[in-house]
Amino acid sequence: MGNQSFLFIVFIVIQLILTTHSLYFHIRETERKCFIEEIPDQTLVIGKYKVELFDAATNTYLPSTPGIGMHVEVKDPEEKIVLSKLYTSEGRFTFTSHTPGEHVICLYSNSTAWFGGQQLRVHLDIDIGEHAVDYQQISAKEKLTELQLRVRQLLDQVEQISKEQSYQRYREERFRATSESTNQRVLWWSIAQLLILVIAGFWQMRHLKGFFEAKKLV
Amino acid sequence: MLKLSLPIPLFLIVFLLKQICCNELTFELPDNAKECFHEKLKIGSKYTLEFQVVTGGNYDVDVELRSPSDKILFQVQKKQYDQIERTADEDGVYQFCFSNEFSTYTHKVIYIDWRVDGDPEHEISSANPRVAEGALTMIESKVGNIHRNLESCIDYQTHHRLREATGRARAEDLQERVQIWSIGQFILIIIVAIGTVLLLRSFFTDRRTPSSMTWHR
């Protein structure tokens, strides 16, 4: 039993360590970094980020610098702003899509510099749909057994798959509409260009004939 | 102590559910630009990097994967899609970079899928045998099977979506270009027709003056 409680503690420690690891990239203070997410509608998106400022004195990145904030701006497929908020150096943003399509998530710091600026290290983690669900929270709140939790995960996955399928139908419809519109345009413009060529030819002949007759050259 | 024995397997499963996670990002890479991503990995962890160029030019990008000791683990030029599965053989920060420096004006949209599976520390806790009945274990394994199949299903869907996005971007681009060029050609025909007539007229109007003098001799 002592062994189990020890493992339990080790496990919690591992959890704490692992939550700090994630993919990161560097941007300048005035730079804007955007990510595109193509998602079906009614999908939950959770983004977690952490910003670190480069300290030239110690040549490392300082964690949790006060004063550095990040603007998070999310635009929906119709270029309408869904979310635009300023968060602290470590934040979490959430939004639910209401229209299917390409959403653009942009991050930029609230730096007052005009150009250049120092380097920032941004840890980012964007979870969409089924990945955004926090199973720990659900198991704690609803007190589910392990099997029930797994089945719950399967249900979430299947729901995401079905949403993605219906989004695919919507995309295919758009693609078909675009192709048919191109087909129509090619058809009508070709006819129009043919007509304009013939008309221009006739007009040229008639005009020049009249012109030469008036000049008594013909 | 008995109370602890129930949450432990539960948390292990929850941990497993949370651990097998991924980082999927789609970003735009402007021309002549290089974009790098870094992650700190422990020795022995398996990682998978999958990338696909969704739109832009010839659908190609240069990729480079470096180990913490600045050794090039993987390098490829002008590839549209690839999947790299490796095991980390040293501790430290691994980085992978995408370069569009060979392109002069096309910017590319790149999709990346970065998955890190497992940590050696995690294996210590999974070695703990769980107290479970025989029948439950079979259901669990079947459920695990379904879970893996659904994950691969979602993965296929993602790739289908990316390929479809490539086709759709091309089609929309074509539609716009057809419109612009057709209007341009239409106007050009009219201009050329009128221009030709005016030019011919100008030839005959100039020569008129000397010839009229010769006629009236």
Out of B13, B21, B28, whose CB is closest to A131?
B21
In the prediction, which pLDDT does B1 show? Answer: 45
Q: Is A180 on the interface with B (CB under 8 A)?
A: no
The answer for A42, left when phi > 0, alpha when psi is -120 to 50, beta otherwise, is left
Out of B4, B186, B193, whose CB is closest to A5?
B4
Higher model confidence: residue A12 or residue A160? A160
Residue B176 lies in a domain: no
Residue B42 lies in a domain: yes
Q: What DSSP letter does each residue of B135-194 carry, written as one string?
A: HHHHHHHHHHHHHHHHHHHHHHHHHHHHHHHHHHHHHHHHHHHHHHHHHHHHHHHHHHHH
Residue B195 lies in a domain: no
Residue B101 lies in a domain: yes
In the prediction, which pLDDT does B4 show? Answer: 44
Query: What CATH number corresponds to the domain at position B162?
Result: 2.60.120.380
Question: Which residue of chain B comes nearest to A188, CA vs CA?
Answer: B182
Give all strands (DSSP E) within A8-114, no chain letters. 24-28, 32-39, 44-55, 60-62, 70-75, 81-87, 90-96, 101-109
In the prediction, which pLDDT does A78 show? Answer: 92
Average pLDDT score over residue span A39-47? 92
In the prediction, which pLDDT does B171 show? Answer: 93
Mean pLDDT for chain A overall: 84
Q: Is A174 on the interface with B (CB under 8 A)?
A: yes
Query: Is the pLDDT at A96 greater than 70, yes or no?
Result: yes
Residue B51 lies in a domain: yes
Query: For strand A60-62 and strand A90-96, is the pairing parallel, antiparallel, or unpaired?
Result: unpaired
In the prediction, which pLDDT does B130 show? Answer: 47
Q: What DSSP letter does each residue of A101-118 carry, written as one string?
A: EEEEEEEEE----SS---
Question: Which residue of chain A comes nearest to B123, CA vs CA?
Answer: A11
Give residue for tokens 């997410």. Answer: A37
A211 phi and psi, to 5 degrees? -65, -45
In the prediction, which pLDDT does A63 show? Answer: 72
Cβ-defined contact of A135 to B18 (cutoff 8 Å): yes
Set of chain A residues whose Cβ sits within 8 Å of the Cβ of B164: 168, 171-172, 175
Query: Who contacts B23 (Cβ-Cβ below 8 Å, separation ≥6)?
Result: A22, A23, A125, A126, B112, B113, B114, B115
Question: Which residue of chain B comes nearest to A126, CA vs CA?
Answer: B23
To 10 degrees, what angle do helices A146-214 and B134-215 make? 10
Nearest in space to B47 (alpha carbons), one of B78, B74, B15: B74
Average pLDDT score over residue span A116-133? 84
What distance in Å separates the CA atoms of residue B207 and residue B21, rounded to the nearest whole number? 84
Cβ-defined contact of A37 to B26 (cutoff 8 Å): yes
In the prediction, which pLDDT does B208 show? Answer: 52
Average pLDDT score over residue span A2-19? 54
In the prediction, which pLDDT does B82 show? Answer: 92
**ipTM of this complex:** 0.79
Q: Could you tell me if B26 and A147 are in contact, meaning their C-beta atoms sit under 8 angstroms apart?
A: no
Work out the percent of chain A whose per-residue pLDDT is above 90. 43
Residue B199 lies in a domain: no
Set of chain B residues whose Cβ sits within 8 Å of the Cβ of A153: 17, 147
In the prediction, which pLDDT does A214 show? Answer: 87
Query: Who contacts A154 (Cβ-Cβ below 8 Å, separation ≥6)?
Result: B143, B146, B147, B150
In the prediction, which pLDDT does A111 show? Answer: 76
Out of B18, B121, B143, whose CB is closest to A150?
B143
Cβ-defined contact of B140 to A136 (cutoff 8 Å): no
Q: Based on the structure, what is the number of domains in chain B?
A: 1
Set of chain B residues whose Cβ sits within 8 Å of the Cβ of A136: 11, 14, 18
Query: Which residues of chain B are modeled with pLDDT < 70?
Result: 1-21, 118-136, 206-217
Higher model confidence: residue A149 or residue B123? A149
CA distance B194 to chain A (A): 8
Interval A59-87: pLDDT, tens:
777 776 677 788 899 999 999 999 898 88
Residue B189 lies in a domain: no
- Which domains, ranges and CATH numbers included, belong to chain A? 20-132 (2.60.120.680)
Residue B174 lies in a domain: no
Interval B144-198: pLDDT, tens:
899 989 999 999 999 999 999 999 999 999 999 999 999 999 999 999 999 999 9
Residue B112 CA, distance from chain mean position: 5
Cβ-defined contact of B144 to A150 (cutoff 8 Å): yes
Cβ-defined contact of A124 to B25 (cutoff 8 Å): yes
* Range of the structural domain that residue B142 is part of: 2-168
Query: For strand A60-62 and strand A81-87, is the pairing parallel, antiparallel, or unpaired?
Result: unpaired
